[in-house]
Amino acid sequence: MREPYRMGGLPDRVTVYEVGPRDGLQNESAVVPVEVKAEFVARLAAAGHTVIEATSFVHPKWVPQLADAAELLTTMERVPGVRYPVLVPNERGLDRALEHGVTEIAVFASATETFAAKNLNRTLESQFEMFEPVVGRALEHGLRVRAYVSMCFGDPWEGPTPVAQVVEVGRRLLDLGCYELSLGDTIGVGTPGHVGALIEAFGGPGRLAVHFHDTYGQALANTLAALRAGVTVVDASTGGIGGCPYAESATGNLATEDLVWMLHGLGVETGLNLQALVETSTWLAARLGRPSPSRVVQALSPRK
């Protein structure tokens, strides 16, 4: 790694919230064997990750790739000091998470009416009727609850998402007791000024995290804008895999390696071993049958 050069207004350390095993793999058409998923999670922990979103208890009819969630949680090794949150869509998902000893969950909301209907089969308002009992019961059982909000910058059916609408949805989730709110640019249309304006509309970074997709090549620029606004938690997917099965225009997530290259170049600590991440992505790409979209993985992988 080259010598770092600091920029003003950046945090000393950033937590990379790894979503590869869940948000990354969920969009893969060919089912990945549970043994490969378990090794993927183990490799991520060995590379230094302290939070790895392992899977989701979504109905297998909607996301067949994650039908093995219970088997994965039984199979995979849990490293002390590493958090393994699980996405749950409803109370049935919460029941299954509790049965398998999960200590942290995430819920997934929409900032727009159309995506709420397509992804959750709910209206923008009635989605909270689903989240309230899930969050309430999870907190009663001592679980930590994170919230995602999708379509924060734009929606493929509705166009640009009003900032005030995102803030209203996000604040309601935080008021339910979620410890953190991840702002998702599901279709990758955000730009740095928009990122800053949205964070400012929330009154500052507070309990915010960011989740960018790289559809228009803006994910790193948007991340830098979020960091300069005070955000210290960034979602990313090793190898840049992922998308959204309910929004065709949602391409891959921000690649963990690309993020780490930038952060280490800025002198921002992550606790992550970049070479180990590159090796993991190269290993996974071979099992998925296609090269990693991460530019850093492409640059640092051995040439054949």
**220-241 confidence digits (pLDDT tens):** 999 999 999 999 999 999 999 9
H or E stretch covering 147: strand 144-150
Maximum Cα interatomic distance, the chain, rounded to a whole number of Å:
54
Residue with tokens 């398998």: 100
Question: Is 152 a catalytic site residue?
Answer: no
Q: Which tens digit of pLDDT belongs to each residue from 203-212?
A: 999 999 999 9
User: For residues 43 and 26, which has the higher predicted lDDT (pLDDT)?
Assistant: 43
* All residues at 6 or more sequence positions from 95 whose CB lies less than 8 Å from its CB, including other chains: none
Kindly state the average pLDDT of the residues 20-42.
94
| Residue of 214 and 242 predicted with greater confidence | 214
Please answer whether residues 70 and 31 qualify as being in contact, where contact means their C-beta atoms are separated by less than 8 angstroms.
no
Torsion sign across C-alpha atoms 42, 246, 28, 190: negative
Who wins on pLDDT, 46 or 119?
A: 46
Choosing from 244, 268, 272, 284, the catalytic residue is: 244
